[in-house]
Amino acid sequence: MRQWRVGTISMGLVLICTGISLFYAKINSKAVYDAVVKWWPLVFVILGLEVLILSCWMKDKGSPLKYDLFSIFIILAIVFCGLGLYSLDGVGATGKINNYLTSQEYRLKTRPSTIPVEPDIEKIVIDAPFSDLKIQTSESSEISSYSYALARAASREAAQHLMNNGAQIVSSRSGKTLQISFNPPAADNIHTTEYIVSIPENIDVELHNRYATRIYTDKVGSDWKIAGGGEVQVFIPRQANLTIRAAVDENSSLGGNVTWEETGTTAKSENGEYDANAKKLAQLKLGSGERSMDIVLNSGNLSVSQL
């Protein structure tokens, strides 16, 4: 006597439809994720129709309708997958997944933004962003900035539009000090990799950095203070008149094409014992050493190179 296993026809139809859909999407460069999310309940309709039709048909034929363990397992798997997909759709996760699958990543440059610097400003305080930072000095009387970022979008034009939304650099003034900070990307699918900032060369600078920082200056006409962590690279002209004082974790953290002079460590603890957190001190003097650059790093390395 012939036996029918429930789920055979349904699974066959689902596999055929899935294969055709994927083949169509591949040929026409289309995404089928939206259709799957929208029409997945039809799997239950097809499965239910199969059970009803076979039950009536086999009853008339006198053949038993068999529910084997494999069919039951497949049905339960389909049910739980469907419920999981419905839950993801309810919390909006399916939309994010679809955006990820139908988009690609672009590395783009944002449009420049500028901030005027008033003549009476004596110091610029830079709160570095959560990404690499490149600072260069110029004869300009304004601060300009742009950035490079990785943006995920459906097209390059859409990615550029996302990156250009909102100011990249913002400022606030307190007395004769100009505070500079950076706005995070306006969209979640943008990751800024580097900021490039140009500042006037004749104004003192205080920098609080967290990530890698590169400083390029053609003319050292001001004093600098740098504090924080991360890798710091300083590129200065050979004719610079500059004294650089550094405090780092280890003397091996100092590098570049200059000769560092070790000057000791930071103060010991109150009982006179060695402080495990003490910093190694070093300095170098270029030219007359008229200007100063003080650098204190909680971690990372410091490199100074003359160009």
pLDDT at 305: 93
DSSP 86: H
CA distance 91 to 216: 48
pTM, two decimals, is 0.67
The 10s digit of each residue's pLDDT in 159-196 is 887 777 655 788 899 999 999 998 777 666 787 888 99
Judgement on whether residues 31 and 116 belong to the same structural domain of the protein: no
Closest CA to 126 of 33, 188, 195: 195
Residue 142 pLDDT > 90, yes or no? yes
Do 168 and 72 sit in the same domain of this protein? no
- What is the band of 220 on the pLDDT scale with cuts at 50, 70, 90? confident
Mean pLDDT value across the chain:
78
Q: Which of 25-39, 217-231, 232-246, 263-277 has the lowest mean pLDDT?
A: 25-39
- For residues 291 and 247, state if they share a domain: yes
Co-location of 171 and 43 in the same domain: no
What are the pLDDT digits (tens) for 251-302? 888 999 998 998 888 765 555 555 556 788 999 998 888 999 999 988 889 9
Which range of 67-71, 77-81, 165-169, 238-242 scores highest in mean pLDDT? It is 238-242
Of 80-94, 143-157, 215-229, 231-245, the one with minimum mean pLDDT is 80-94
Which domain-ending residue is among 101, 135, 160?
Answer: 101
pLDDT given at position 121: 94
Average pLDDT over residues 119-126: 94
The pLDDT assigned to 32 comes to 55
List the end-to-end C-alpha distance of the chain, in Å, as a whole number: 92
Buried b / exposed e over 146-185, threshold 16 CB at 10 Å, is bbbbbbbbeeeeebbebbeeeebbeeeeeeeebebebeeb
Domain range for 28 is: 4-101
Answer with the residue of higher pLDDT: 76 or 177: 177
Q: What is the mean pLDDT of residues 1-19?
A: 57
pLDDT of residue 5: 52
Highest mean pLDDT among 43-47, 152-156, 279-283: 279-283
Q: Whole-angstrom Cα distance, residue 223 to residue 244?
A: 10
DSSP state letters, 136-180: EEES-SEEEEEEEEEEEESSHHHHHHHHHSS-SEEEEEETTEEEE
User: Cβ distance 223 to 272 under 8 Å?
Assistant: no
Residue that terminates a domain, selected from 101, 133, 168 = 101
Query: Does one domain contain both 127 and 268?
Result: yes
Closest by CA position to 298, among listed 243, 248, 242, 224: 248
Round to whole Å and give the CA distance between 159 and 182.
20
Same domain, 92 and 239: no
Same domain, residue pair 83 and 227: no
In this structure, the answer to whether residues 189 and 212 fall within a common structural domain is: yes
Residue 90 has a pLDDT of 60
Closest CA to 160 of 174, 146, 173: 146
- Separation of alpha carbons 151 and 161, rounded Å: 10
Beta strands in 87-129 (DSSP E): 104-109, 113-116, 123-127
Number of domains observed in the structure of the chain? 2
The helix/strand/coil state of 73 is: helix
pLDDT value at residue 282: 92
Residue with tokens 């009803």: 52
Percent of residues, the chain, with pLDDT higher than 90: 27
According to the model, what pLDDT value does residue 1 have?
43
The last residue of one of the domains, among 58, 74, 101, is 101
Mean pLDDT of 42-71: 64
